[in-house]
Every structure is written in C-alpha cells, then in structure tokens.
Copies of this chain bind each other. A is one copy, B any other.
Amino acid sequence: MTTKTTPPTPTGLQLLSLVKPEGVLEISLVSVPTPTPAADEVVVRIEATPINPSDIGLLFGAGDIRTAKLSGTASHPVVTMQIPPAAMKAMAGRLGQALPVGNEGAGVVVAAGSAPAAQALLGKTVATLGGAMYAQYRCVKAEQCLLLPEGTTPAEGASCFVNPLTALGMVETMRREGHTALVHTAAASNLGQMLNRICLKDGIGLVNIVRKPEQAALLKSQGAVHVCDASAPTFLEDLTQALVATGATLAFDATGGGKLTGQILGCMEAALNRTAKEYSRYGSTTHKQVYIYGGLDTGPTEFNRNFGMAWGMGGWLLFPFLQRIGPVAAQALRQRVADELKTTFASSYSKEISLTEALQPAEIAVYGQRATGTKYLLNPNKGLVLQPENIET
C-alpha cells in the first residue's frame, strides 16, 4: 500500500482577477498554500493552460485592456485597467471577489491522496478541467483528471476539454436536433480548425465563415470545402450557395454582435426557397437555428426578420450541454478527444508565457485581442521545472 504523499512545496503562485467598486479591474499574483490532497484528490503541477476566449472573459471582465498599467513587484506583479462606467452594472455580481481564472490545463501529478484512483496518477501527466488553472499547483479530484496517453506533453494535452468538447458538442447538437450540416463563424480559430477536421473526417457538410482572405486561405489549406469571407462583396450570395450545397440549417456563432446571425438565417431561408415549389406566406417551414456561443463582437445584435417564422436564436454553452446529454454520452465525447489528441484535436499556440509575463501590458495587448493566430499558452511553472520530455528516464 502506497502512502499518502504531501506536496513538494508549501506555497505556489495563483492568478486572481478582482473588480473594484471604483471601476478598476486588478489582476494579481498571490502566494497560496499548496493544498494537501484528500484521499480522492491529487495535486497537479500545472505546466500548460491555454488562454481561451472564455478565460479572457473572466480574466479581464469589462476592463479596457488598452488602459493596462503595471505595478507591484517583479515576483508579485499587479496589473490594473479601467472599466468603462456603463459596463460596471454588468460587473455587479463579481464586485469585490478576487476570482481565480483558467478553465483547463495539464501537468504532472506531484502529490496524491490515499485512494487507489489517486495513487494511480502519481507522477503521471494529466489534463484537467475545473477552473483556477492559472496557478502553479491545483488540487483536483482524481476523477476530474484525464490520464494523457504515454508520450503526450502537458502542452499537447492543455486544451483537451474546452475546444475539443465544444466542437464535438456542436456536431452532437446537430445530430440531436435533426440537422445534417453546420455553419460556423470565426471559423479560422483553433476551435474552428478543429471543427473543420471533425467534419472532414465524419463527412459532415460545414460552411466556414471568416472575416479575412488570409483566414479563408488558412482553412482551404486545411481542406475546408466551403469557406465564405464576410468581407467579400459577394458574401451573402456565396453563403447562400454554400447553404444550398450543404443544406445546413444550424449555425454556431462566436461573434454574437452585429448583423451576422440574422444574415445567416436570411441566407438559410433564401437557400430553402430556391427549391420551394409554391408561395408560403410564413416562409419556409424548415426550422433554422443559430446558437451564439461567444461574444467576439460585444456590440448589439441586430437582424431583419426576413426568414419566415420557423427560426430560433439562442445561447449555447458547453457545460449545460454536457449535463443535458448525460454522463455516458459525455464520456464518449471525452474518449474520442483522448483517442485523437495529436490529430483531430491538436491545438497550436503562438507563444508560451509565464504567470508574470501574462500580466505584462505588452503581452496583454497581443493575447487580449482574441484574434486568430494570437492564442497563447500559459505555463505557470515556466523556467521553474524541467519539462518531462527533457528528463532522462
């Protein structure tokens, strides 16, 4: 019987995000005690955690990143930014609470509780989901960990959950709601590239909407069949033709604001009507749906209702979706991610940064854009730990 181990260091740094009543967002690094794991828990030394758009939402809140100012000390830096007064109402719920950040991450299990499931992970590289990953050490239940296949680095396993499960969740939603093809916006994102690989592999029609010619070229170089550039003067006609070709009546939109969601519904209706036989005063009877799952455009959403009456728009979030489909179906999705981690679900990052680097205004100005090609990987133990792949065994 292996005995319960204690963590290797008494404290570790953790990133916290705080909204102050005077309209200031403050991000700081604090030293917190490394927990001693309970019987069914493990302590993971986090070595890779992505900065996803959903993390950025919590990290900066309504703070204006252009006003970022650095203070504090070299080892315990603090960055502050202004929150526009009009946005403070939306921040009311998190006022005065220093919130940990980071949905998912990967690293090495450095301490484990006495339960066999926990002990089995000791020394292993795992991925985990559950918030507060922007920290050197994170104590989680063993069952929250996904044991990464032999030869997988923390960096390769860091984005095991949010993007892969979101992309698979879109395909699963399509099947469960009776659609046969998909539309995706901001389609050149890491998530979008993943969705494109899934759809190519599974033979599902996918209409990729991007905002720039270079994003269209990127997706086409990865085999994407239908790519529509919203900046092209022919966009609405291009989109309608792609919808005729694929028959897609379901879209997942990452932008939220502006006119795009309504344009997608309008083009779906136009595509359906190109094959309609007679006038229907209420438009096509085929249900057309757009789910908004992100907010890259924080402005208002605006649409003309030129798409009949059989339509829906709504929010879509991964965690309620996983709850809705139940543990068995959710586990099947997780297993597929583990099986195809280095192919279908591979992520790429433009840079790896440390916790202190994450607080530098110059870095924030880059990764805070949430733009294609500026995705960062955070390594809370950067420079402090030998990477497992560098250790001779």
Contacts and interface: CB of A to CB of B under 8 A. Distances in A.
Interface string A88-122: 00100110010100000000000000000000000
A301 B303 contact: yes
Interface in A275-326: 276, 278-282, 285, 292-293, 295, 300-306, 308-317, 320
B305 A301 contact: yes
Given A97-B279, A281-B58, A301-B305, A312 B314 contact: yes
Contacts of A311: 314-315
A276 to B, nearest CB: 7
A257 interface: yes
Contacts of A309: 293, 315-317, 320
Interface string A242-257: 0000000000000011
Contact of A295 (B292, B293, B305, B315): B305
A278 B92 CA distance: 11
A285 B320 contact: yes
A387 interface: no
A292 to B, nearest CB: 7
A273 interface: yes
A53 interface: no
A57 interface: yes
B316 A315 contact: no
How many copies of this protein are present in the complex? 2
A282 B256 CA distance: 14
A302 B58 CA distance: 25
B310 A313 contact: no
Contacts of A300: 262, 302-305
B316 A313 contact: no
A292 B279 contact: no
A315 B265 CA distance: 12
B320 A315 contact: no
Given A93-B273, A309-B320, A310-B315, 12 more contacts: A57-B281, A58-B281, A93-B280, A94-B281, A97-B279, A257-B305, A262-B300, A292-B305, A300-B303, A300-B304, A300-B305, A310-B320
24 contacts: A93-B279, A94-B279, A97-B279, A99-B279, A256-B305, A257-B305, A262-B301, A293-B309, A295-B305, A300-B303, A300-B304, A301-B303, A301-B304, A301-B305, A302-B302, A308-B315, A309-B315, A309-B316, A309-B320, A310-B315, A311-B314, A312-B313, A313-B313, A313-B314
The 10 A-B pairs of least Cβ separation, nearest first, read A312-B314, A309-B315, A93-B279, A94-B279, A302-B302, A309-B317, A313-B313, A300-B304, A311-B315, A300-B302
